[in-house]
Structure 1
Amino acid sequence: MPTQEPSPQLSPPEVGEPAHRPLFVVGVDGSPSSVKALRHAVTLGQFQNALVRAVTVWSYPNSYTPLPTTWSPEDDAREILAEVTASVFGDSVPEWFEQKTHEGTPARVLIDESANADMIVVGSRGHGGFAGLLLGSVSSQCAEHAGCPVLVVHGTDTV
C-alpha cells in the first residue's frame, strides 16, 4: 500500500489590509438618478472598505453648426462631477473616493471600466433618451455587457 504524503500546511492569511480592495465604479451624469446611484455606491463601499470611482463621460456633439471656441464638454463634465461630489460629500471628500472624466460614450466607457471593477453602479435614468423608458440605454447596455456585476438604482429620491 503506497504511503500518503502529508498535505502541505497552509499559512494563515496575514492580518491587515486585504489583498484586493474592491472597486465600485459609478456612472455620474448629474441627473438625480446618478446622484442616487453615487450615494448607494458610497454606502455600500463604506461597508466593504471599497474604493469608489465616479466617472463622468463627455464627447463633442455631432453638429453641423460651428461650436463656440470657449465651450469645452470636458470642462462641463468636470464641473458636473465636482457639483455631484460636493452634494454627496460636502467639503470633506474621503481618500477612498476617486473622480474621473473620460471622453467617449457612457455605456462603452463604463463597460471598459468594468474590466477592473468589482461592481458598476448606475442610475436607471440619466440625461437623455425617452422619459417613458423604465431602464435607460446606458444601464441596459452595462447590465448586458459589463465584466462585473451591475447595480441599477431606480428612482430619484435620496437615500
Structure 2
Amino acid sequence: MNTEPSSNRIIVGVDGSEYSSAALRWAARMSERLDTPLEVITCVGMPDLFFSSRMETGMTKFSGELEESARQLVEQALDRAFDADRPENVGITVRFGAPAKVLVEESRNAQLLIVGRHGEGGFLGQAIGSVSRACAAHSQCPVLLVGQNDQEK
C-alpha cells in the first residue's frame, strides 16, 4: 500500500481554534468542488516533543498521549465545523514539529493548503499570525488564508 501523500489532496492546518473551524469549512467546500481528498493536519509542538523525549524510557507513552490529545482536538474542531454534516473521507494526520515547518513540508504533496489566519492582535497587532505568514511565504502550493468570520455556507 502506498503511504506517500497524494499530490492532488487539499490540506488544512488545524490547531483547535475557531479559525481552524472556519478553515475546515472552506477546505471541505474546496475538496468537494475539486473532487479531491481532504487531509486535516495538526501538530504537536516542539516543546512537547522535547519534553517527552527527555523522559525515562518507561514514560515514553507520553508522546502517544500527546498524539491522542491532538487527534481529539481535531475531532472537536471537526464537530464544531460540521456538526452532523461531517464530510466523508477526511484524513487526519498528527505530526510532531513546528506547525509552520510541518505545513510547508506537507504542501510539497498538496494541491492547496488552507489555514486560519489568526492575527488581529497578539504581537504588534499583526493582521495574520506567524504560522499563516510562514505558510503564505514558503508553501509549495497555493495557500488560502481564512479569517474567523469567513463562514460562507
Matched, 1:39 2:25: yes
Q: Secondary structure at the match of 2:42?
A: strand
**Aligned amino acid, residue 120 of structure 1:** L
CA contact (8 A) 2:27 2:114 kept: yes
Structure 2: 5+ residue stretches without partners: 1-5
Q: How does 1:49-128 map to 2 (within 5 A)?
A: 49-59=35-45, 60=48, 72-91=65-84, 93-125=86-118
Give aligned-pair identity as a percent: 34
Q: Which ranges in structure 1 are unaligned for 5 or more consecutive residues? A: 1-19
Partner residue in 2 for 1:27: 13
Alignment-derived partner of residue 126 in structure 2: 133
- Kept after mapping to 1: 8 A contact 2:22/2:81: no
How much has 1:92 moved relative to structure 2? Answer: 5.8
Aligned mates of 1:123, 1:75 — CA distance in 2: 22
Distance 1:131 1:101, change over 3 A: farther
Secondary structure of the 2:128 match is coil
TM-score normalised by length of structure 2:
0.75
**What SS is found at the alignment partner of 1:22?**
coil
Q: What do you get for the CA RMSD once the two structures are aligned?
A: 2.9
Partner residue, 1:153:
146
Alignment TM-score, normalising by the size of structure 1: 0.73
> Which has a greater percent of helix?
2
1:8 matched to which residue of 2? none
What secondary structure sits across from 1:148 in the alignment? coil
